[in-house]
Amino acid sequence: MNKPKSKIIPWLGVIVESLYTSLPILSILNFISIITMLYTSTIVEYAPWLSFWMFVTILGVTVLCVMLVVWKFVIPSLWAYRSSQMKELTDGMKELTEDAKKKDEMIAELIMKVDKLSSKYELYT
C-alpha cells in the first residue's frame, strides 16, 4: 500500500503550534468577556437578586466540575486511543531496533576477527 508523502512546511508548523499554545489563554479571556456580557444583558433582568460575584462563583464551580470530568474520564480515554494508534508504529520500531542490534553484533564479531587476524599476521610495511 502506497502512503502519500508528507510535505514539510516549517513556517506553517510554527503558526499552528503558536496558535494551539495561545488558544487556552485567548479562550479564557473570551469566556470572561462573554459571561460579563451575559450577566449585564440577561441575568440582571431575570434574576436581579443574583450578584455578579455570585454568578462568577457559580460559573467557576461549574468550570471546575467540567475540568474534573475531563481529567478523570476524557484524558485517560484520549491517551488510551492514542496509545492504540501508536502501537502500530512502535511495533515497527521494535523490529527495526532488533535488526539494528543484530547487525551491530555481527559488526562487532567481524571487528574481533579482523583484530585477531591482524595480530596473527602482522604486516610490516
Residue 95 lies in a domain: no
Q: Which H or E run includes 120?
A: helix 75-120
Burial 47-77 (b: 16+ CB within 10 A, else e): eeeeeeeebeeeeeeeeeeeeeeeeeeeeee
Give the total number of structural domains in the chain. 1
Residue 107 lies in a domain: no
Three-state SS for 27? Answer: helix
Residue 5 lies in a domain: no
Residue 37 lies in a domain: yes
Query: Sign (positive/negative) of CA torsion 110, 116, 121, 124?
Result: positive
pLDDT at 54: 92
Structural domain span for residue 63: 10-90
pLDDT at 1: 55
Amino acid at 121: Y
Each of the 125 residues of the chain gets a pLDDT tens digit; together they read: 566 677 788 888 888 888 888 888 889 889 889 988 988 888 888 888 989 899 889 988 998 999 999 999 988 998 888 888 777 777 777 788 888 889 999 999 998 888 888 777 765 54
